[in-house]
Structure 1
């Protein structure tokens, strides 16, 4: 008979993975709509449904679930978190369906508001319980990832007033959206993965203290890198200088923080295990992200980075699917929290391979377009066919996660 803690883990992570499956279906439909005309479902609706499902549905639940099941002391209050999970999942489904129906409208905004408010309660509960965690389980990157998540949502709240007062064509509308996206991807998701890698290394015997210099350079560089978005609407030399400074600080900070962790993990893990290879693929994506950020120190390359759409798409997927999903899932698999049965293995390996091929196509076409040699028709066909396996492999992952619940350390709280 399954214990309540195991059911709770399966429901939480299973829900996150179902959102990943939904996002993969929506992503495939987006590529299909470009490849062949679809009379229903406007592209804008698909795009908004896909992005919100991926970020607020899948990404948020994956990271919060990883925090709950790895970081928090035992026991945790399953009933309290379960109630919030139910509301969050229902709001997430409503959000996805309503964005398909009306893009931004009263219903989708209502569900988005609900999901954001529940997220606030979840992170508040987590931060309160996190204070009780063992010192070896704590590090500043985890706490600050939450702070950056909260800050990023200010961009979403600003969209309504800006739209009502100035309209969607005003530059503040664009900058509000970019504020949310920047601090989600480069703040919330990236800081959480760095924090989880520090946790994993310390659990595996590394006597590690986060470099205070690296930590503050990381935060400062994150803030300065936002000015890359500002240069889109204001080509001022000052904003390019701030962006370049941010890129340099980010590269230095990642070197100071990540080097000892990667060296320790690389020498202490068995690379013959597929879970290890999955994890290190995610770490490789994180390193590639930093390298690409470092390139925008050159103003001309900074302009190219947002002038070619495929560079943006590839970068976003590099962070969410590569650095975040593969790393966090690799950690969960190695710690025995996600099941590693045959379905799961086939799904994760297939997803990783498909992701790498997709990134190669996206970055390859972006470079060719930059050089004036891109073949749009060939690209549209290729990227559609490359995307087809995503729903198949995410379905395998979902089946694997629900088929055999893992044995965990979670026990029910007495409160």
Structure 2
């Protein structure tokens, strides 16, 4: 794979375009491996393989997808948008990227073999320390066009750092209470919640607003920011309620999802009319990507609002199809969708390329089909219906499109002459 050959740590005097293209290909290569792992996981539902540990492979899939794809692509984009051009070929930023990639490869290799064990924990810890240093560099060196960008980027970084507190307590939690304890499970949910809803979502949202030059009016931004901040913290109560039975968590989550809905109302109010003008000028393919991405965001908000119903709160955790579908809704539909929009805007995902166009269409088609199957199957399981009980082969077949689509996108990036 490409990223194995680039671990020689390119020197800082290499041409910036080449170095940044290597970053981007490394990110998509990680995404491709994560997609292959996900495909194998779905194959194991059809034909178990004695030599493959499902849980270990799941750990590898999730770590590579989150830390190898989402984290590192945000690394690339934050550097591109906010680090001055003359500093972007800085040896520190370059070596930090490749050390972080080394940590990802370590997790990619070790988690499927041993799960949470010595070497996988070492590589995970290395990634965390790299993320701390990256946060420091962005905090100190980034140049922002507005206070809004500065506040949102720094908030995203703070949530990323806060999320790692959940990782640090996993060791003591296992030692004192065991992996089956509520404390251990809540620590994992703490990490996932603030990664997805704090770090990933806020970072990609501010990058999206930046690349479209959309600025929220100051009075509206203040309301949006405060509400989003509180909602992000309060909605942690939902996963906590899965392990601690207390009605107070239901009410805290209820308040949080209401605030979240109001926060996005203010966002639409602030940039909606300007965005509508820009949207009308887009080609059909790009309009479709926007519809998929923001449709997924709308579905996410609606699903969270449905947790008003206590029964939904319970089944949202108990029925695995709902859990997987919701995670992929966030990771593939919302965050990756916005990343695609940004890459198209800066011409690194050229929609005139047949490879890129094919990859994008295949990606969203596969994403849509698998999401429909996952959520539909979850609904039928909830109602005790036998319908879709044999949907696993269809789900596996539809999932083949994800790694194929990423291969097409990698091919288009390699062929383009545009640099990041």
CA distance in 2, matches of 1:74, 1:239: 46
**From 370, 373, 378, the counterpart of 2:390:** 378
Deviation at 1:275, TM superposition (A): 3.1
Structure 2 runs not aligned, ≥5 long:
1-12
Say whether 1:82 aligns with 2:111: no
Shift of 1:221: 1.2
Of 352, 369, 373, the residue aligned with 2:364 is 352
- Equivalent of residue 74 in structure 2, options 63, 78, 82: 63
Judging changes above 3 Å, is the alpha-carbon distance between structure 1 residues 276 and 68 closer, same or farther for their aligned structure 2 residues?
A: farther
Alpha-carbon distance, 1:339 to partner: 4.1
Deviations along 1:103-128, one digit per CA (max 9) or x if unpaired, are 11101111111111112111211121
Aligned alpha-carbon RMSD (Å): 2.0
Partner of 1:243: 253
Q: Which of residues 128, 131, 138 is equivalent to 2:140?
A: 128
Q: Tell me the distance in 1 between the aligned counterparts of 2:254 and 2:300.
A: 15
1:20-35 counterparts in 2 under 5 A?
Answer: 20-35=31-46
* CA distance, structure 2, for counterparts of residue 249 and residue 337 of structure 1: 36
In 2: Cα distance, 1:396 partner to 1:360 partner: 24
Matching of residue 214 in structure 1 with residue 224 in structure 2 = yes
- What's the counterpart of residue 187 of structure 1? 198
Tell me by how many angstroms 1:6 deviates: 1.1
Are the equivalent residues in 2 in contact too, given 1:91–1:115 (CA < 8 A)?
yes
* 1:299-310 superposed matches below 5 A: 299-310=310-321
Q: Does 1:168 align with 2:205?
A: no
Normalized against structure 2, the TM-score is what?
0.91
Contact 2:216 2:267 in 1 (8 A): no
- 1:112 and 1:380 map into 2 onto residues whose CA distance is 32
Aligned position for 1:178: 189
Aligned-residue offset at 1:139: 4.4
Equivalent position SS for 1:75: helix
1:412 alignment partner in structure 2: none
CA contact (8 A) 2:159 2:194 kept: yes
TM-score by length of 1: 0.92
Alignment of structure 1 residues 391-410 onto 2, 5 Å:
391-408=403-420
- Which structure ranks higher in relative contact order (CA pairs < 8 Å, sequence separation ≥ 6)? 1
In structure 1, the partner of 2:263 is 253
CA 1:72–1:280 in 2, change beyond 3 Å: closer, same or farther?
Answer: farther
**How far apart, in 2, do the equivalents of 1:371 and 1:240 lie?**
23
Q: Is the 8 A contact 1:279 1:328 kept in 2?
A: no
* 2:149–2:210 CA contact under 8 A, matched in 1: yes
The within-5 A match list for 1:146-161 is 146-161=157-172
Specify which of 99, 113, 116 is matched with residue 128 of structure 2: 116
User: How many Å apart are 1:134 and its aligned residue?
Assistant: 2.6
Match of 1:411 in 2: none
Q: How many residues align?
A: 404
Report how far residue 91 of structure 1 moved: 1.5
How far off its partner does 1:302 sit?
A: 1.5
Please show how residues 255-334 of structure 1 align to structure 2 within 5 Å.
Answer: 255-269=265-279, 270-334=281-345
Structure 1 residues without counterparts, runs of 5 or longer: 409-415
Where does structure 1 differ by over 3 angstroms across 4 or more consecutive aligned residues? 206-210, 337-340, 374-377
How many Å separate the matches in 2 of 1:240 and 1:71? 39
Structure 1 CA distance for aligned equivalents of residues 275 and 386 of structure 2: 40
Question: Does the CA contact (< 8 Å) of 1:95 and 1:111 recur in 2?
Answer: yes
| Distance (whole Å) between structure 2 residues aligned to residue 123 and residue 277 of structure 1 | 33
Partners of 2:254 and 2:216 in 1: CA distance = 33
How far is the alpha carbon of 1:258 from its aligned partner? 3.3
Residues 124 and 288 of structure 1, relative CA distance in 2, 3 Å threshold: same
| 8 Å contact from structure 2 (residues 56, 111) kept in 1 | yes
CA distance in 1 between partners of 2:150 and 2:306 (Å): 29
CA contact (8 A) 1:354 1:390 kept: yes
Post-superposition shift, 1:376? Answer: 6.2
Q: How far apart are residue 297 of structure 1 and its match?
A: 2.3
Report the Cα distance in structure 2 between the residues aligned to 1:49 and 1:393, rounded to whole angstroms: 21
**Deviation of the 1:196 alpha carbon:** 2.0
* 1:181-240 deviation line (CA, Å, top 9, x unaligned): 111111111112221232234x26x56435212211111111111111121122211111
SS state of the match for residue 134, structure 1? Answer: coil
1:50 counterpart = 2:65: no
C-alpha contact (below 8 Å) 2:100/2:127 kept by paired residues: yes
